[in-house]
Amino acid sequence: MADVKLHPDWLARIGGEFAQPYMAALKQFLEGERARGKAIFPRPRDWFAALDATPPRQVRVVILGQDPYHGPGQAHGLCFSVQPGVRVPPSLVNIYKEMESDLGIARARHGYLKSWASQGVLLLNNCLTVESGMAASHQGKGWEKFTDAVVAAVAADPAPKVFILWGSHAQKKAANVAGLKERELGAGSPHLVLRAPHPSPLSAHNGFFGSRPFSQANDFLAAQGRGTIDWRLPDEPGA
């Protein structure tokens, strides 16, 4: 992955990861899978799309996902987001339901979340690739170490941010990063950490619904002088 091109600010923070042995092993694994004719999602140019869309100095909110969607045409490098024209996945439907309940925003007809990323919402998956039709197929190959470094770099920056952690995978990942404690008096972290069950239909009714992450995030950002996120999505994806 020596030819990876990222925003200079990201390279300054995590560029050293590309020289680590685990990244060389990951590159070898991905090249081998592609050489065997396996379809890998998203396409290579979108592997780092979350970082490309949200440079580190712009990050105000972090949402952690698990793996990219493994169906054809879905994943494009932003967690929970799908490409224009693709049916909105069930978890994202539930996210829209909670957003409607929380902020009164009507549910979008598409699942393209690029407008969130352009406002400083880092939509980062734990693993950045997956084999077609094989959920979790690239776990344990090295991506987790890389995205751990991304989360650590974001958390180390003192500008106040909101970390939205849905489900045990995201919560366990963040638990390994110094400075990501619940915001309590004397906790020593400048960030707000919001935890809730995953929005999957299997768990959304166990506490995701009613968690009000969107209003809480905006209230915190406004209080810290960092503005707010316009969570509304344009009627047409990409507009």
Catalytic residue list: 67
d(CA 199, CA 91): 5
Report whether 143 contacts 26 (CB < 8 A). Answer: yes
Of all helices (H) and strands (E), which one includes residue 213? helix 213-223
Tell me if residue 184 falls in helix, strand or coil. Answer: coil
Q: Which residues contact 208 (CB under 8 A, 6 or more apart)?
A: 94, 98, 166, 196, 197, 198, 199
Q: In what order do the strands lie in the sheet with 121-125?
A: 121-125, 61-65, 162-166, 192-196
